[in-house]
Amino acid sequence: MKKIPQLINPKIYLPCSPSKWISKPEYKKITRINLTAGGGMGGSKWTEYVEQIKELQPNTIQAFTRINGKQILLNTNYITDAEDFRLITVKFHNENPHCYHLGDNTLHYIAEMDLIGIELIDNYGDTPTL
């Protein structure tokens, strides 16, 4: 799955101009799971974003639900780490044909659980992320 940028502070700027916010931020508790397929330094690795899990069962095939609602099975032997975050979903309307799609667009960010008070800034700018 595509990497979701992690917010460093609670301010989200419009990603292009002219555009405007069309929704308030929506929040969902999730778990980011990093997995490996082995192979040493040149090995394959990927990230899954799933609905927040209560417990990882060791050495088994465990069912998870991705943030888009799709059910997946993962071998927990290949999980390198798992961390809880909040998924922040925001929507904006874009009028710039050279930036995103014309019309309504959705952005996702993840944030530490203690990062609160997300503010949507009505100016174009770079949202600080990791």
Chain segment 83-108, per-residue pLDDT in tens: 999 999 999 999 999 989 999 999 99
For residue 16, the tally of other CB atoms under 10 A from its CB is 15
Handedness of CA 96, 101, 103, 105 (dihedral sign): negative
Domain boundaries, the chain: 11-124
Global pTM value: 0.89
116: confidence class by pLDDT, cuts 50, 70, 90 = confident
At which residue do the structure tokens 């555009």 appear? 19
- Residues 33-73 pLDDT 10s: 999 987 777 778 999 999 999 999 999 999 999 999 999 99
Q: Render 21-43 in DSSP notation, one character per residue.
A: E-S--EEEEEEEEEEE---GGG-
What CA–CA distance (Å, rounded) separates 59 from 50? Answer: 19
Strand blocks (E) in the chain: 11-14, 19-21, 26-36, 45-51, 61-65, 71-75, 79-94, 103-111, 119-124
